Structure 1
Amino acid sequence: MLCFLVLLGLHSAAAVKHSLKNIYTASSQVPNFPEFMAVGMVDDVQTEYYDSNTRRLVPKQDWMIRIMKDDPDYWESLTEMRRAHQQLFKVIFETLKQHLNQTGGVHVFQVIFGCKWDDETGDVNGFTCIGYDGEDFLSFDLKTESWIALKQEAEITRLEWDTNKAKTICLKRYLNAWCPYYLKKFVKYGRSSLMRTVRPSVSLLQKTPSSPVSCFATGFYPDRAEMFWRKDGEELHENVGPGDILPNHDGSFQMSVDLNLSSVTPEDWRKYECVFNLTGVRDIITKLDKTAIQTNWRKTGNDGGSSGFRLGDVIGPVIVLLLLVVGIVGYFLWRKNKGKDASDTSGSSVEVPVPDGKYFMM
């Protein structure tokens, strides 16, 4: 969804911004999936998790555990608030389905709301996006204090919510006051983790001799990074395929950018280089070098050229296969000769073994 993708790309390499996001997901008739989930994220790092199956709020970072110990009332209040939101979202979800004349089937209702804070300028901006069945549905304009229907089917809901001034006041208070307050608190607790800088390992990869060369960086943090190819010092935009920044299982990130070399002559390879840029880290520059490319096809010859196979690679397995076939045939002949006087040989076979008022409630 467009507004969701915008929210997931809050960071940029040029500015130091922090974000707090609350992601609520309600669903109906989705197998093996909780009816309600709530996820908290600071700077795109998951900090807490709640679902309707466990009804427990679980911290996902060590520094969130410290907050829980330092302020147990806060954590207990937030847990109760998530339980209240679970019931509230069930009601909202059912109302939306009525507006859309839906009586059953698989449906998903999702809300992302929170704020961004620039710790250099002090600017704060709140945001709210609502999606339904994988499409943008509604968004909240904080400046005009009104809802915007992102598709025609959302118009009924927009009119209903715009008339609920109490809801608007509560949402505005959360986005402008409480969200920045807790975001700054979370950043203070998690600064050593959130503000750390980790350089990546960068590799050149290629699937086949005719495939694009991929410059792959993994293990970096934070995600405020850029990577691009350049020739003779100039950034390239043609024959380049940039990839998305993706999370690794350990909380770090990875990304790649492909370069199509189909029209590049071998003598021009030395003019190309991959540049990885990460906030607070000197650029990592990787020269385009055939000898440095990691691939799953073999290289032969002194010129770095490639070959689809080598004769030795084929002869060895063929000999092994022939020996195996000879062995199996011999085994069957032996069994046949041994059992020809038996009364029944038909069975012969071979077997292989939150406190009130501090949190947005829709």
Structure 2
Amino acid sequence: MHTLLFLLLLAGTQSATARTHSLQYFYTASSHVPNFPEFVYVGLVDEVPISHYDSNTMKTEPKQDWMLKATDSQYWESETQKSLGEQQWFKVNSETLKERFNQTEGVHIIQRMYGCEWDDETGEVKGYDQHGYDGEDFISLDLETETWIAPTPQAVITKLKWDNNKALLANQKNYYTQVCPDWLKKYLEHGKSSLLRTELPSMSLLQKSPSSPVSCHATGFYPDSAMLFWRKDGEEHHEDVYVGEVLPNHDGTFQMSADLQVSSIPPEDWRRYDCVFQLSGVKEDIVKRLDKDSVESNREKPTDVTTIIIVAAVVVLALVLAVTGFIVYRKRNAKCPPSPGKDPNVLKPLNPDGQVSNSPSETSS
């Protein structure tokens, strides 16, 4: 089962020189696992879920819009019936395995992973069928020898039974080498707008501190068949380099990083290094030259501190000038005569007898 989990983690991380497509199905049957369905099935194309069934909903449903458009209601009814049959098959086998391992109650998990891979450049096809129980490999199909491999004594009974069923072996070989790849190509055609798209990443060089490695980070690319590495003088460089795994982004794209330890590299030699990103289906490489000016850091730069000090000084000076100006203004007001709007005597008549002088029209003869 460790092999199963390892394949789950690494599926899709193929060489950028050729794109390998995959059609995979995962089944999980469990007992006494809180808040988890007793049976779950997921179908995936190039690691993208296309169908799903669980024992809670009791329905097989599409997970992509293009999958829904390419099928009809009868197709999903048929898939639901198949899933119900698989659910019952796993339930019976769960009891059988508990007897073989002398188990009674408790948490137990059966898993199956099967499917095929197709290289769109070479045409090479690979099929696989693996079963696991309680986190360990139980039995797997060897298509080359057309026999089953049993790594545990409890699986030998199953191996002998399935090896003797030649008709079943012939049918499985036909499925994994012919039927499965044909369906994979059909799914790729129906979902090509999303499955076969190509998105280039944004790249950046990051460093936390002068003693930290420089991390070349590429994010937003699709598909996940990509390579990221460092070069020195145009040659691939592996010394003091750590390449991380491809990780998914929330929007369906991917990201990865490659770290280069630069503490032993003289500053004048930095420009001899560059980070290279290669994406499957894209001929041109994306290259990021190692240069101190292009490395982003979360350290506080001296120029930033100087700017802050200058801005603060200007603000303080402006405040002092404002206060000083207000004080001067108050003093000047105290010495000047009152304004017309504030002295009531200014509104008194200018003539001693209290009469207002005539207007120009009244003085004319």
TM bucket (normalised to shorter chain) is: 0.7 to 0.9
Query: Matched residues in 2 for 1:103 and 1:231: separation?
Result: 60
> Helix, strand or coil for the counterpart of 1:209?
coil
Partner of 2:23: 20
Query: Matched residues in 1 for 2:136 and 2:249: separation?
Result: 26
TM-score by length of 1: 0.76
Question: What count of residue pairs does the alignment treat as equivalent?
Answer: 303
- Alpha-carbon contact 2:13-2:226 (below 8 Å) kept: no
1:46 maps to 2:49: yes
- Alpha-carbon contact 2:213-2:262 (below 8 Å) kept: yes
1:136 maps to 2:137: yes
Query: Matched residues in 2 for 1:109 and 1:208: separation?
Result: 47
Query: Matched residues in 1 for 2:231 and 2:121: separation?
Result: 31
Partner of 1:64: 67
Query: Of 8, 11, 20, which residue of structure 1 is paired with 2:14?
Result: 11
- CA, structure 1 residues 156+208, in 2 after alignment: closer, same or farther (shift >3 Å)? farther
Partner of 1:360: none
- CA, structure 1 residues 10+283, in 2 after alignment: closer, same or farther (shift >3 Å)? closer
Query: Matched residues in 1 for 2:13 and 2:297: separation?
Result: 35
- Alpha-carbon contact 1:99-1:157 (below 8 Å) kept: no
> Helix, strand or coil for the counterpart of 2:302?
coil
TM-score by length of 2: 0.76
- CA, structure 1 residues 106+263, in 2 after alignment: closer, same or farther (shift >3 Å)? farther
- Alpha-carbon contact 1:10-1:19 (below 8 Å) kept: no
- Alpha-carbon contact 2:13-2:246 (below 8 Å) kept: no
- CA, structure 1 residues 219+152, in 2 after alignment: closer, same or farther (shift >3 Å)? farther
Structure showing greater radius of gyration is 2
Partner of 1:289: 291
The unaligned stretches of length 5 or more in structure 1 are 313-362
Code of the residue aligned with 2:54 in structure 1: it is: D
Q: CA deviation at 1:133?
A: 2.7
Query: Matched residues in 1 for 2:108 and 2:259: separation?
Result: 37
Query: Of 33, 36, 57, which residue of structure 2 is paired with 1:30?
Result: 33
Give RMSD over aligned pairs: 2.5
> Helix, strand or coil for the counterpart of 2:185?
helix
Partner of 1:90: 91
1:247 maps to 2:245: no
Report the identity percentage: 57
- Summarize deviations over 1:93-149 as a string: whole Å, max 9, x none: 222222222223222221111112233443332111222333333210112221112
Code of the residue aligned with 1:34 in structure 2: it is: P
Partner of 1:111: 112
Q: CA deviation at 1:278?
A: 0.7
- Alpha-carbon contact 1:96-1:157 (below 8 Å) kept: no
- CA, structure 1 residues 301+268, in 2 after alignment: closer, same or farther (shift >3 Å)? farther
The unaligned stretches of length 5 or more in structure 2 are 310-365
Q: CA deviation at 1:3?
A: 4.9
- Summarize deviations over 1:215-247 as a string: whole Å, max 9, x none: 111111111110001111111111111111122
Query: Matched residues in 1 for 2:303 and 2:266: separation?
Result: 18
Query: Matched residues in 1 for 2:248 and 2:63: separation?
Result: 15
Matches within 5 A, 1:1-362: 1-6=2-7, 8-9=11-12, 11-68=14-71, 71-165=72-166, 167-281=168-282, 282-300=284-302
- CA, structure 1 residues 137+236, in 2 after alignment: closer, same or farther (shift >3 Å)? farther
- Alpha-carbon contact 1:203-1:217 (below 8 Å) kept: yes
Query: Matched residues in 2 for 1:290 and 1:120: separation?
Result: 40
Query: Matched residues in 2 for 1:208 and 1:156: separation?
Result: 59
Q: CA deviation at 1:163?
A: 3.6
- Summarize deviations over 1:340-361 as a string: whole Å, max 9, x none: xxxxxxxxxxxxxxxxxxxxxx
- Alpha-carbon contact 1:4-1:129 (below 8 Å) kept: no
- CA, structure 1 residues 35+297, in 2 after alignment: closer, same or farther (shift >3 Å)? farther
Code of the residue aligned with 2:84 in structure 1: it is: R
Code of the residue aligned with 1:113 in structure 2: it is: Y
Code of the residue aligned with 1:291 in structure 2: it is: D
Q: CA deviation at 1:170?
A: 4.2
